Structure 1
Amino acid sequence: TDIVVLVVAAAYSIKEQTVEAINHAKAAGVPIIVAINKIDKPDADPARVKNELLQHELVVEEMGGDVLSVEVSARERINLDKLVEAILLQAELLDLKANPNRPAEGVIIEAKLERGRGPVATVLIQRGTLRVGDIFVAGSEWGRVRALVNDRGEMVETAGPSVPVEVIGLSGTPEAGDMLHVVDSDARAREIAEHRQRLKREKERAGRARSTIEQMMTRIQEGEAARLPVIIKSDVHGSLEAIVSSLQKLSTDEVKVEVLHAGVGGINESDVTLARATNAVIIGFNVRANPQAREMARRDNVSIKYYSIIYNVIDDIKAALSGLLSPVERERILGYAEVREVFNITKVGKVAGCMVTEGLVRRGARVRLLRDDKVIHDGTLKSLRRFKDEVREVKEGYECGMAFENYSDIQVGDRIECYEVEEVAREL
């Protein structure tokens, strides 16, 4: 997506589907042009629409913002030229250009199986020119263009950049969002498609990772994310506002809940599409997903979690966020030993003959060498021996020999502090 044109009716207030479209546009991170439609109606009030857009952080230029807005009437064809000018201006600022003189590339908008025509895909050409007879790959399917149909239902021979067309001649039905690429031969197209189909089957067999809260915790702990994106759907506005407000209060400087979209009503395909694009978890409060959304979520491995008690939503998200916090390191002193003698051992170096005076010392633990109650070395215990035998630990009241990792400045009278570093989970 390069530019989003948000169409809002001037005669009505901002509707739920408009809020949904705004959230999708924000998630895409592209410029938005607001087209305020139906200004020919007697009850049209563009100023009210602009004010309501402020609630969704869309500030039009007339109000000091950077969002372009155009008042139009599609029915009476009022200001449509100004809308085109606004799109062209934004495209010029973004330096949006495409070379028509190259093999075509495009994106599948939708695909379906039609009786009499077979698999049909609606494609938006992004680069190059698509021609009848071209061989192409679309996702895990391939084909040869038998016919092109434009947005007016007319048969055409070619389709250039920014032109939407229906493509007939596919071997199967690709998925929305798949890329279409023209290739040079049937053999090459078949090879690429078969390879992608094989990878797809392998992923399905392996059980592709779902966008669950637990795996999102793993991604954040690995530094791949710094937020917990969620989409919330509820049965009533009151519950929705309470959930959103409660979840936002859980955020800290380190981790935060990002509500990408919140709305009233059942979970639909649009919610699943947004969740798939942003790796979000869908939370349904006293609502359910429709059959199409359930199937899409299953196919795209999007997690939908259902709740009927607000506290359960908050507890689950709080537990997830707590798990995302980096653990704190805490020292635990194991014991102390006093150096009674220092030996020089060939091929080993200096070994301290010690008496454990308190607690215990353990091989592999961290150690500090104290001289006149000052720390002069902090490192690792390389060797711990009782007589000639290597031992795991030595307790208070027993003698032992100790050697440090990469350190040998040991003197009689020094004290050795043995300790471990533990990672302690934090809570919000």
Structure 2
Amino acid sequence: MAKIRVYELSKELNISSRELIDILLTEFSIKVKNHMSVLEEEDAELIKEIFEENKDLATGNKENGSGKSIIDEYEEELDESVNAKKKKNKKNAKNENITNEESVQEKEVKDIEEIIIEIEDTITVKDFSDKLDKPINEVIKELMFMGVMAAINQELDFDTAEKLGEKFNAMVVRKEDTSGILEQEEDDDEVGNEKRPPVVTVMGHVDHGKTSILDAIRKAKVTATEAGGITQHIGAYTVNVNGEKVTFLDTPGHEAFTTMRSRGAQITDVVILVVAADDGIMPQTAEAINHCKAAEVPIIVAINKIDKEGANIDRVKQELTEYNLIPEDWGGDVICVPVSAHTKEGLDTLLEMVILTSEMEELKADPTRMAKGTVIEAKLDKGRGPVATLLVQNGTLNTGDSIIVGSTYGRIRAMFDDKGKKIKSAGPSIPVEVLGLSEVPDAGDRFNVVKDEKTARNMAEKRKDKLKEQNLSTNRVSLEDLYSQIREGKVKELSVIVRADVQGSAEAVKQSLEKLSTEDVKVRVIHGAVGAISETDVTLAAASNAVIIGFNVRPSNNAATLAEKEGVNIRTYRIIYDAIEDVKSAMIGMLEPEYKEVVLGTAEVRATYKISSVGTIAGAYVLNGKIVRNSDVRIIRDGIVVFESKLASLKRFKDDVKEVASGYECGIMVEKFNDIKEGDLIEAYTMEEIKPKHL
């Protein structure tokens, strides 16, 4: 079968090879790579006939008298020709050998159609050329045409690689990120339909009887094993209450609770707040209340030590109202249960309230899925290596499972329950101690079971790299950058922690700041107390993304060091009005600015030029004002706005210009719009920002 090359046909038609290639690709859908590509004689004859009918085909898709384009008239004939050729080729392939030239051409077309390149966020020029199977100089040349000057080892971002792939008829897709899928699974709302035990945290002031109550519930002397009778670590215990399991977490005060929440771990379903009837609400009790409110966890108040002299239950309830915790018998919604850990009075009622509250929360889980949950505590044991206490929140954890925990990983070699008994599996809301991790994880780290240890190791390495990047780029909120963060949707309100030298000053500062709140910007004082700024304040600020304001007080050395490490903003003042003015200024910066449209100019389209590889360019005359490059534009046709976009380019003759004034002609190209017609009006405009000057 006779063949003809593209450059030979272009000579016969008296047009350039480049023009002929554009026409073949755009009008005939014939894929050719360059001027040396081979065409079938049947196709070549058909193209010659079309060119004889229309001598000016190279300048555009002209129309005949009937209003149909020449290409439209011959489209059916071309399709028939192509289909006939395919049938003939298929028959010939079975009965006789195909020439080398034909097989090479078909292979090239097949390769062009099937090239799919998977990359991550970036890829080097060399790796990209290897994936394309193209010489490196061709890739660099195309990058230069795109305006990108890149060396062989320079990295390209995904968008650049995607555009470059189009030049070589290749599709660039983002490589599937398994760690991203894992993160999505962690945030999955479909937790299951089976009921799970509630997880209860016991909190309160030191020596108010938190562990004693838990000890009485478990009927075991936990305090006997603790140094000085004070809880030194986080313990997790499962008990049976009327045939139902309840998991209790005993924490040293509130600090660990905050640390977990600062890492995004929300593991507690109910909080039992222990208050001594003879002591009332103390500083750590107040801080625990603020932590629970910030975490939005249901609170049950256990008024302990009612058997001691000086116990005053009503006084405790009165003090609770000062923190907006109104007891049920006083018309509120907070359950208060008088108990005695010593005589075990009221403990049954307390447990019934826990079960009732958890039933109202409708706690569900799916034991059949792969396990996920949170690290409660972790340590390095000399004999056993890294040991972690995990709380399974969903699914079932089994011995031998491969897990990823934060930025570490491992395979579970052994698993123990809260009584030290070796077990093989643990379901939802069950705490277990596990062996087999590569490193000691942090309290509050999330864990997930994955298919194998290799996958877990790869994910852990990716997380470590990501963590390094975040540590370099992450900054906590400060009064200076609140405006930029509110614009990006990162901050919805201004959270503040107030510390003062005396209670009166603390209350005055707190009330003054809260009065600044408006409908658009809220000021929320999440904690106010007397004394120096402590490490606890910094930890709470880090967890709640808050600013610490100190009035006549200074941070301790440890607090200042921790604040610098966590990136927490501490402001100290001696005059209350200075503090109010600073916060007020920050709030004004947080207000959304108003925008006003300003019309820059209008241009009329006098002619249009279609370029196959670029798009439609409008030859326009500026009627009034000026047309500015990169401005927003709208296309107006017969008084109706048909499209809004941005200017892609603005030229005077062959030169790019910044603006074109009234009375001058210019070339205009609009982003993502090629249906420009003669007589259209192009209106250029901009949106001016009007910043608010007062609340």
Deviation of 1:330 after TM superposition, in Å, equals: 5.8
Deviations 1:229-268 (A, max 9, x none): 1222333323322321222222222112111112223444
**Could you tell me which amino acid in structure 2 is paired with residue 105 of structure 1?**
K
1:111 aligns with 2:371: no
Whether the 8 Å contact between 2:404 and 2:449 is mirrored in structure 1 is yes
Return 5+ residue gaps in structure 1 as ranges. 336-341, 355-360, 368-375, 411-417
Indicate the larger mover: 282-291 or 37-46. Answer: 282-291
Indicate whether 1:155 and 2:420 are aligned. yes
- Superposition pairs of residues 95-174 of structure 1, within 5 angstroms: 95-100=362-367, 103-130=370-397, 134-143=401-410, 144-146=412-414, 148=416, 150=418, 154-158=419-423, 159-174=426-441
Partner in structure 2 of residue 283 of structure 1: 549
Larger Cα Rg: Structure 1 or Structure 2? Answer: 2
Q: 1:326 to 1:92 in 2, by over 3 A?
A: same
What's the counterpart of residue 247 of structure 1? 513
Q: What do residues 164-203 of structure 1 show as CA deviations (whole Å, max 9, x unaligned)? A: 3444443222122111234454333323322222222232
Write the deviation string for residues 89-112 of structure 1: whole angstroms up to 9, x where unpaired.
111111113455654433112333
Q: 1:177 aligns with which of 401, 422, 444?
A: 444
SS of 1:4's partner is strand
Give distance in 2, aligned partners of 1:42 and 1:362: 87
Rounded to whole Å, the distance in 2 between the matches of 1:25 and 1:109 is 17
| TM-score for the superposition, normalised by structure 2 | 0.49
Higher RCO (C-alpha 8 Å, min separation 6): 1
| Contact 2:660–2:666 (8 Å) recurs in 1 | no
1:306-325 superposed matches below 5 A: 306-309=571-574, 310-325=576-591
- C-alpha separation in 2, matches of 1:127 and 1:172: 23
**Paired AA for residue 187 in structure 1:** K
AA aligned opposite 1:69: C
> Residue 362 of structure 1: CA displacement?
4.4
**1:401 to partner: Cα distance:** 8.8
Query: Which of residues 458, 469, 472 in structure 2 aligns to 1:191?
Result: 458
Aligned partner of 2:274 in structure 1 is: 7
Mapped contact 2:605–2:679 kept (Cα < 8 A): no
Corresponding residue for residue 35 of structure 1: 302
- Give 1:84's aligned residue: 351
Amino acid at match of 2:570: K
- 1:10-409 maps to which residues of 2 (within 5 A)? 10-100=277-367, 103-130=370-397, 134-143=401-410, 144-146=412-414, 148=416, 150=418, 154-158=419-423, 159-204=426-471, 206-285=472-551, 286-289=553-556, 291=558, 293=559, 297-298=563-564, 301-309=566-574, 310-329=576-595, 345=606, 361-364=625-628, 392=659
TM-score by length of 1: 0.75
C-alpha contact (below 8 Å) 1:134/1:182 kept by paired residues? yes
Distance 1:234 1:191 in 2: 49
* Distance across 1 between alignment mates of 2:606 and 2:408: 71
Distance in structure 1 (CA, Å) of the matches to 2:580 and 2:688: 29
Q: CA RMSD in A?
A: 4.3
Q: How much has 1:161 moved relative to structure 2?
A: 3.5
Cα distance between partner residues in 2 of 1:377 and 1:192: 54
Aligned length: 395
Q: Secondary structure of the residue that 1:42 maps to in structure 2?
A: coil
Quote the Cα distance in structure 1 between the aligned partners of 2:605 and 2:569.
Answer: 66
Provide the rounded CA distance (Å) in 2 between the counterparts of 1:343 and 1:249.
55
For each residue in 1:312-359, what CA deviation from the matched residue of structure 2 results, as whole angstroms up to 9, or x when unmatched?
432332221111112234688999xxxxxx9995557996877xxxxx
Report the Cα offset of residue 391 of structure 1.
9.2
Residue 338 of structure 1 is matched in structure 2 by none
Question: Would you tell me which structure has more helix in proportion to its own residues?
Answer: 2
- The residue aligned with 1:427 is 693
Contact 1:32 1:68 survives alignment (8 Å): yes
Is the CA contact (8 Å cut-off) linking 1:227 and 1:258 kept in structure 2?
yes
Q: Secondary structure at the match of 1:155?
A: coil
* CA distances 1:386-410 after superposition (whole Å, capped 9, x unpaired): 9xx9995879xxx889999999799
**CA separation of 1:184/1:270 partners in 2, compared to 1, >3 Å: closer, same or farther?**
farther
Deviations for 1:116-163, whole angstroms, at most 9, x for unmatched residues?
A: 55433333332345455554322112233445362xxx4222354434
Contact 2:497 2:541 in 1 (8 A): yes
The residue type equivalent to 2:283 in the other structure is: E
Contact 2:604 2:679 in 1 (8 A): no
Deviation at 1:69, TM superposition (A): 1.8
Residue 42 of structure 1, CA deviation: 2.2
Q: Unpaired segments of 5 or more residues in structure 2? A: 1-267, 609-617, 634-638, 671-675
Which structure is higher in strand share? 1
CA distance in 1, matches of 2:604, 2:491: 52
Q: Alpha carbons of 1:105 and 1:156: their partners in 2 closer, same or farther (altered >3 Å)?
A: farther
Equivalent residues of 1:329, 1:424 under 8 A apart: yes
